[in-house]
Amino acid sequence: MKTAEARQARLEPARKNESEKRGRKASKEVRQLQLIEATIDSLAKRGYSETTMADVADGAGLSRGIVNFHFESKEKLLIATLQHMYDEYSAHWRNALQKAGDDPAHQLQALVAADFDRSICNKRKLAAWCAFWGEAKSRPTYQALSSARDAVYQTIFIDLCATLRQSSGYAYEPQVMALALSAMLEGLWLRLMMGTEDTTRETALQAANEFLAAAFPRHYPSKTAGAAEP
């Protein structure tokens, strides 16, 4: 009995240290996410060039030293924010794709609809995306990150377009049609970000579904208007 108690006593400090390490890690992740969310807020409110580390600290309700501790510089903070947004977007469309099942037509329509879900498609996040897009041309790090993530997404579109063409004898080139789909979705996001009066998430989704009906008439009804998730 005493031997077991002694072993337990020896193990207890190690367990305590491990628990403390997990707590510190969780606290670090929470703090970083807090700062990233504040960065998105600042990008949406002030734009890229006007966003400062001080703005982010104030928005997160944290000291400026905390921002420097976690990210060291504005550039590192912004890269982490862009990575976070891409990770969130990727997880979102992958989840939509998985839920759509094995039918390519359902998968393509699910990907299109996912772009207008409120969790992804809102003025705050759209403005942050536009802020990064405006800087991508002059920042190789942003270009590399965007290109790698976009290539995976675009490949899915190309594969689905190729599958639909093969099954129904459409005359388009899959790569060209996939490019048209992406440009259409990005254009609707831009109109939503700009606050164009006749464009809402619902009307944008309706327009996207009408595009699908026109491009793939054998797979979608002529009127596939739908509403975005509330």
Please tell me the class of the 75-230 domain.
Answer: mainly alpha
Predicted confidence at residue 28, as pLDDT, reads: 82
pLDDT of 149: 75
pLDDT at position 141:
76
Domain boundaries, the chain: 1-72, 75-230
Read off the pLDDT of each residue in 205-210 and give the average, rounded to a whole number. Answer: 96
Lowest mean pLDDT among 19-33, 182-196, 199-213: 19-33
What local confidence, expressed as pLDDT, does residue 225 receive? Answer: 44
**3-state secondary structure at position 199:** coil
Confidence of residue 4 (pLDDT cuts 50, 70, 90): low
Taking alpha carbons only, the member of 119, 94, 98, 85 closest to residue 229 is 119
pLDDT number for residue 20: 42
Higher model confidence: residue 205 or residue 145?
205
Helical segments of 100-139, H only: 104-114, 123-136
Average pLDDT across the chain, whole number: 85
Token pair 């491009």 is at which residue? 215
Q: Which CATH superfamily is domain 1-72 in?
A: Homeodomain-like (1.10.10.60)
d(C-alpha 165, C-alpha 173), whole Å: 8
Q: Which of 107, 110, 127, 116 is nearest to 194 (CA)?
A: 127
Is pLDDT above 60 for 1?
no
Question: Which pLDDT does position 229 carry in this prediction?
Answer: 47
How far is residue 209's CA from residue 55's CA, in Å, rounded to a whole number?
40
Q: Are 79 and 141 in contact (CB under 8 A)?
A: yes
For 133-166, write each residue's pLDDT tens digit: 877 677 777 777 777 778 889 999 999 999 999 9
Write down the pLDDT at residue 6: 56
Residue 24 — very low, low, confident or very high, per pLDDT cuts 50/70/90? very low
Report the pLDDT value the prediction gives residue 196, as an integer from 0 to 100: 75
